[in-house]
């Protein structure tokens, strides 16, 4: 019998209506406490597969992968800690990707390097649009810089914004991917998204994964500018937070691939390629009620 378990820091979330059982753990920001709770949970249940999905959770699991494998018998996939150290930090990622010929936004190391506006202020480590600020003039820049000492300042990129959902096997080889335009977002997650392969970035993705091993699900974000440049802005070593259902519906069932890979089953990669149809996905809210 197939059962789905979940965990969070609170029970007051809609996820509990979609899983067989919901467990409480400490926040992933409490690295030691979270890992202790996770190990206890995995050892006290008959869970076979663990799928980390949250950004902070993935960072902890990657860093403490050996300990988690030593203390439990759980099956999971995570990219190496070194890959997180480089690609999860935007400052490191932009410099590393530029060295392998992948275009990224220009970083402004010093204020005098900024000769025109707008520019972007954003956290060095983060996901979605959290902390993303468009800065229109020098006064706004100075104020933002004062309030955000560790912020990263980069050039402002315009154009069509894409997300690429991808899956890499245990050897780090790209198995499948699907490209989609982010037509509308909410909190960084796509709520309206459409397949689009007009600008195919498979070569760039394979170049990145050849330099920095990636295992399991990952998603890449890039802009196609009015000047026909492809500019990579984010790499997240996890499932995408919004548009993944479109990728699955299009044939690139990354979730199923992950399970097959973890169970050691053989599969035909050709059966998991995107059909590349110009399919569009709309997400919407649905109310759930609970009487206490």
Q: What is the CA radius of gyration of the chain?
A: 20
Question: Alpha-carbon distance 222 to 100, whole Å?
Answer: 16
The pLDDT of residue 58: 98
Positions of the chain with pLDDT under 70 = 126-131
The pTM of this model reads 0.93
Nearest to 243 by CA among 272, 204, 214, 279: 279
Query: Would you state the structure tokens that stand for residue 288, as one six-digit string?
Result: 């759930």
pLDDT score for 51: 98
Residue-range domains of the chain with CATH = 5-78 (no CATH), 106-155 (no CATH), 158-282 (3.30.470.20)
d(CA 132, CA 112): 21
Structure tokens at 24: 């409480």
pLDDT tens by residue, 228-246: 999 999 999 999 988 999 9
Quote the pLDDT of residue 49: 97
By C-alpha distance, which of 175, 169, 159 is closest to 251?
175
pLDDT for the residue 149: 81
Residue 117 in tokens: 């506006």
Q: What is the reported pLDDT for 19? A: 96
């Amino acid at each position: 019998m197939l059962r789905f378990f979940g965990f969070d820091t609170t029970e007051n979330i809609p996820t509990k209506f979609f899983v067989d059982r919901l467990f409480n753990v400490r926040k992933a920001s409490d690295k030691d406490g979270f890992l202790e709770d996770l190990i206890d949970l995995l050892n006290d249940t008959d869970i076979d597969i663990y799928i980390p999905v949250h950004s902070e959770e993935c960072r902890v699991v990657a860093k403490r992968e050996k300990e988690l494998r030593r203390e439990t018998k759980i099956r999971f996939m995570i990219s190496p800690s070194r890959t997180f150290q480089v690609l999860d930090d935007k400052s490191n990622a932009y410099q590393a990707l530029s060295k392998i010929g992948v275009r990224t936004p220009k970083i402004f190391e010093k204020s005098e390097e900024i000769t025109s506006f707008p520019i972007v202020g954003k956290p060095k480590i983060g996901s979605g649009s959290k902390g993303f600020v468009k800065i229109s003039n020098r006064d706004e820049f100075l104020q933002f810089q004062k309030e955000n000492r560790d912020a990263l300042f980069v050039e402002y990129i315009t154009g069509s914004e894409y997300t690429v959902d991808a899956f890499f096997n245990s050897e780090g080889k790209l198995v499948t991917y699907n490209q989609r335009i982010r037509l509308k977002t909410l909190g960084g997650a796509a709520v309206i998204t459409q397949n689009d392969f007009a600008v195919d970035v498979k070569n760039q993705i394979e170049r990145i994964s050849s330099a920095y091993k990636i295992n399991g699900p990952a998603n890449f974000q890039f802009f196609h500018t009015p000047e026909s440049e492809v500019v990579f802005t984010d790499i997240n070593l996890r499932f995408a937070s919004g548009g993944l259902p479109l990728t699955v519906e299009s044939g690139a069932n990354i979730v199923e691939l992950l399970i097959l890979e973890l169970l050691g089953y053989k599969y035909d990669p050709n059966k998991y390629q995107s059909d590349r149809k110009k399919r569009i996905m709309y997400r919407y809210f649905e109310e759930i009620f609970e009487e206490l």
